[in-house]
Amino acid sequence: MKTNASSLAALAAFVVVLACVPLVPGALDHYGAFYLFLVFVHIVLAQSWNLVAGYAGQISLAQHAFFGIGGYTTAIVATRLLSDETFYFNPFAMLAAGVVAALFAAAIGVPLLSKLAGDYFALGTLGFGEIVRVVLVKGGSFTGGSFGIAMSPAPFDTLAPHYWVGLGLAVAATAAVYAVSRSRLGLALMAVREDPMAAAASGVNVLRFKVLAFAIGAFFAGIAGSLYAFYVFAVSPVGFLNLNWTLYPILMCVMGGSGTVFGPVIGAFLMTAVFSAATLWLPAAHPILSGAMIIAVMLFMPNGILRVRVARSRRAPGGGWRPKRLLRGIEQPPGSVGVATRAPAGSWRGAQPGEEP
Amino acid sequence: MLEILSPRLVGELLVNGLLFGAMYGVAAIGLSLIFGTMRIIFLAQGAMIVLAGYCAYWAFALLGVDPYVTMIALLPVSLVVGAAIYQLLFRRAAAIEDKNTSLLIAVGLMFMLESLMSVAWTPDPRSITTTYTATSFDVGGMPVSITRSIAFVVALVATALVTLFLKRTLIGKAVRAVSENMTSSMLVGISPHRVNMVAFAVGIALAGVAGCTLASTYAIDPYFGFLFSLKALIALALGGLGNVGGALAGGLLLGVIESGSSFFIPGWGDAIGYLVFLLVLMFRPEGLFVRSVKKA
- Contact residues on chain B for A351, CB-CB shorter than 8 A: 296
* Per-domain residue ranges of chain A: 30-271
Per-residue model confidence (pLDDT) at position A156? 76
Query: Cβ–Cβ of A291/B115 closer than 8 Å?
Result: yes
In tens digits, what is the pLDDT along chain A, a chain of 357 residues?
A: 555 688 888 888 888 888 888 888 777 778 888 899 999 999 999 999 999 988 998 888 899 999 999 999 999 888 887 766 666 778 888 999 999 999 999 999 998 888 887 778 888 898 899 889 888 988 778 888 888 888 877 777 788 888 999 999 999 999 999 999 999 999 999 998 888 889 999 888 999 999 999 999 999 999 999 999 988 888 998 889 888 888 889 888 888 888 889 999 999 998 898 888 877 877 766 677 777 877 887 788 777 776 665 554 444 344 333 434 333 333 333 333 333 333 334 333 333 333 333
Per-residue model confidence (pLDDT) at position B4? 64
Say yes or no to pLDDT of B178 above 80.
yes
CA–CA distances in Å: residue B179 to residues A190, B7, B97:
29, 42, 16
- What is the rounded CA–CA span in Å between residue B293 and residue B129? 47
Query: Cβ–Cβ of A127/B95 closer than 8 Å?
Result: no
- What is the rounded CA–CA span in Å between residue A310 and residue A319? 8
Query: Cβ–Cβ of A326/B95 closer than 8 Å?
Result: yes
> With contact defined as beta carbons under 8 Å apart, do A151 and A78 qualify?
yes
Higher-pLDDT residue of B8, B52? B52
Closest residue, chain A, to B109 (C-alpha): A291
Select the residue from A294, A308, A342, A349 to test the B interface by mutation, using most B Cβ atoms within 10 A: A294
3-state SS, one letter per residue, for chain A: CCCCHHHHHHHHHHHHHHHHHHHCCCHHHCHHHHHHHHHHHHHHHHHHHHHHHHHCCCCCCCHHHHHHHHHHHHHHHHHHCCCCCCCCCCHHHHHHHHHHHHHHHHHHHHHHHHHCCCHHHHHHHHHHHHHHHHHHHCCHHHCCCCCCEECCCCCCCCCHHHHHHHHHHHHHHHHHHHHHHHCHHHHHHHHHHHCHHHHHHCCCCHHHHHHHHHHHHHHHHHHHHHHHHHHHCEECHHHHCCCHHHHHHHHHHHHHCCCCCCHHHHHHHHHHHHHHHHHHHCHHHHHHHHHHHHHHHHHHCCCCHHHHHHHHHHCCECCCECCCCCCHHHCCCCCCCCCCCCCCCCCCCCCCHHHCC
Q: How large is the average pLDDT for residues B116-143? A: 80
- Contact residues on chain B for A326, CB-CB shorter than 8 A: 95
Per-residue model confidence (pLDDT) at position A42? 95
Query: Cβ–Cβ of B99/A119 closer than 8 Å?
Result: yes
Closest residue, chain B, to A346 (C-alpha): B39
Query: Cβ–Cβ of B282/A347 closer than 8 Å?
Result: no
Using CB atoms, pick whichever of B39, B192, B286 lies closest to residue A346.
Answer: B39
- What is the rounded CA–CA span in Å between residue A74 and residue A80? 10
* Per-domain residue ranges of chain B: 29-122+144-238
Say yes or no to pLDDT of B194 above 60.
yes
Q: Helix (H, G, I), strand (E, B), or coil: what is residue B92?
A: helix
Query: Cβ–Cβ of A128/B282 closer than 8 Å?
Result: no
Closest residue, chain B, to A126 (C-alpha): B230
Instruction: Kindly state whether B187 is in contact with chain A, defined as any CB-CB distance less than 8 angstroms.
Output: no
Q: How far is CA B157 from the centre of its chain?
A: 14
> With contact defined as beta carbons under 8 Å apart, do B48 and B211 qualify?
yes
B267 to chain A, closest Cα gap in Å: 7
Per-residue model confidence (pLDDT) at position A333? 39
Q: How large is the average pLDDT for residues B245-252? A: 89
- Contact residues on chain A for B181, CB-CB shorter than 8 A: 329, 339, 344
Q: How large is the average pLDDT for residues B35-64? A: 88
In this structure, what are the phi and psi dihedrals at residue B28, rounded to the nearest 5 degrees? -65, -35
- What is the rounded CA–CA span in Å between residue A15 and residue A30? 19
Select the residue from A50, A61, A131 to test the B interface by mutation, using most B Cβ atoms within 10 A: A131
Closest residue, chain A, to B269 (C-alpha): A134
Other residues' Cβ atoms within 10 Å of the Cβ of residue B125: 12
Query: Cβ–Cβ of B108/A292 closer than 8 Å?
Result: yes
> With contact defined as beta carbons under 8 Å apart, do B145 and B136 qualify?
yes
| pLDDT confidence tier of residue B137, bands split at 50, 70 and 90 | confident
Q: How large is the average pLDDT for residues B28-49? A: 87
CA–CA distances in Å: residue B223 to residues B115, B151, B258, B270:
8, 21, 20, 16
Q: How large is the average pLDDT for residues B8-23? A: 85
A-B C-beta contacts closer than 8 Å: 176
Predicted complex ipTM exceeds 0.90: no
- What is the rounded CA–CA span in Å between residue B271 and residue A127? 9
Instruction: Kindly state whether B283 is in contact with chain A, defined as any CB-CB distance less than 8 angstroms.
Output: yes
